[in-house]
Amino acid sequence: MELILISALVLIIYINSLGNQFVSDDIGAILQNPQIKSVEYLFNPIWGFANQIHYFVLSNVFGPSPLAFRFLNILFHMGNSILIFFLLKAFYGKRVALFGSVIFASHPVFVESVTWISGGPYARYTFFFLASFLFYLKRNLHKRFYAVSILLFFICLQINEKAIPLWLLFPFFEYFQKSLLKNWKLLVPYFVLSLIYTAIHFGRLSLRREGLAQDYQQESLGLDNPLVQIPIAISEYLKLLIWPNNLTLYHTELNFSKEEFYIRAFITVVFISFSIIGFFKKRFFSFWFGWFLISLLVTLTPFRISWIVAERYVYLGAIGIITVFSVVLNNAIIKFKIENLYWSILTLLIIPLSILTVVRNADWKNQDSLWIATAKTSPTSSQNHNNLGDMYGRWGDLKMAILEFETAIKLKPNYADAYHNLANTYQQLEEYDKAIENYKKAIKFNPNLWQSYQNIGVIYYHKKNLVEANKYFNDSLKINPTNENLKKLVEEINNN
Percent of the chain with pLDDT over 70: 95
Residue 222 identity = G
Query: Mean pLDDT throughout 367-376?
Result: 97
Query: Mean pLDDT throughout 299-312?
Result: 88
Distance from C-alpha of 280 to C-alpha of 176, rounded to nearest angstrom: 10
Residue 346 identity = L
Query: Which of 174, 97, 82, 92 has its CA nearest to residue 137?
Result: 174
Q: What is the mean pLDDT of the chain?
A: 91
Whether 480 shows a pLDDT value over 80: the answer reads yes
113 close to 77: Cβ distance less than 8 angstroms:
yes
Distance from C-alpha of 357 to C-alpha of 104, rounded to nearest angstrom: 11
pLDDT tens digits, one per residue of 324-346: 999 999 999 999 999 899 899 99
Whether 130 shows a pLDDT value over 90: the answer reads yes
Q: How confident is the model at residue 43, as a pLDDT? A: 75
Query: Mean pLDDT throughout 57-65?
Result: 92
Query: Which of 292, 287, 297 has its CA nearest to residue 164?
Result: 297
Out of 182-186, 264-268, 273-277, 367-371, which region has the weakest mean confidence (pLDDT)? 273-277
Whether 422 shows a pLDDT value over 60: the answer reads yes
Distance from C-alpha of 84 to C-alpha of 100, rounded to nearest angstrom: 7
Q: How confident is the model at residue 242, as a pLDDT? A: 95
Q: Which residues contact 461 (CB under 8 A, 6 or more apart)?
A: 469, 473, 489, 493
0.85 exceeded by pTM: yes
Q: How confident is the model at residue 204, as a pLDDT? A: 61
pLDDT tens digits, one per residue of 375-401: 999 999 999 999 999 999 999 999 999
Q: Which residues contact 205 (CB under 8 A, 6 or more apart)?
A: 303, 305
Strand, helix or coil at 334? helix
Query: Mean pLDDT throughout 103-127?
Result: 97
Whether 64 shows a pLDDT value over 50: the answer reads yes
Q: How confident is the model at residue 275, as a pLDDT? A: 85
Distances (CA, A) of 292 to 274, 280, 324, 352, 376: 13, 18, 11, 24, 29
Whether 207 shows a pLDDT value over 60: the answer reads no
Q: How confident is the model at residue 206, as a pLDDT? A: 55
Whether 229 shows a pLDDT value over 70: the answer reads yes
What are the structural domain ranges in the chain? 2-367, 368-495
Residue 203 confidence class, pLDDT cut points 50, 70, 90? low
Q: CA dihedral in degrees (15, 17, 18, 22; nearest 10)?
A: -170
Compare 43 and 169 and report the one with higher pLDDT: 169
Distances (CA, A) of 157 to 114, 151, 165, 299: 19, 10, 10, 15
Q: How confident is the model at residue 450, as a pLDDT? A: 92
Q: How confident is the model at residue 217, as a pLDDT? A: 47
368-495: CATH, from 1.20.140.10, 1.25.40.10, 3.40.50.620, 3.40.50.2000? 1.25.40.10
Query: Which of 495, 450, 496, 439 has its CA nearest to residue 473?
Result: 450
Q: How confident is the model at residue 48, as a pLDDT? A: 66
Whether 214 shows a pLDDT value over 60: the answer reads no
Whether 211 shows a pLDDT value over 60: the answer reads no
Residue 487 confidence class, pLDDT cut points 50, 70, 90? confident
Geometric angle at alpha carbon 298, from 157 and 353, rounded to 5°:
90
Q: How confident is the model at residue 219, as a pLDDT? A: 46
Distance from C-alpha of 324 to C-alpha of 156, rounded to nearest angstrom: 25
Q: How confident is the model at residue 218, as a pLDDT? A: 45
Compare 219 and 263 and report the one with higher pLDDT: 263
Instruction: State the helix-helix crossing angle for 120-137 and 169-176, rounded to 10 degrees.
Output: 40
Query: Mean pLDDT throughout 101-106?
Result: 98
Query: Mean pLDDT throughout 394-410?
Result: 97
Q: How confident is the model at residue 304, as a pLDDT? A: 75
Q: How confident is the model at residue 220, as a pLDDT? A: 46
Q: How confident is the model at residue 240, as a pLDDT? A: 97
pLDDT tens digits, one per residue of 233-288: 999 999 999 999 999 999 999 988 999 999 999 999 999 988 888 777 767 789 99
3-state SS string over 178-195?
Answer: CCHHHHHHHHHHHHHHHH
Query: Mean pLDDT throughout 100-106?
Result: 98
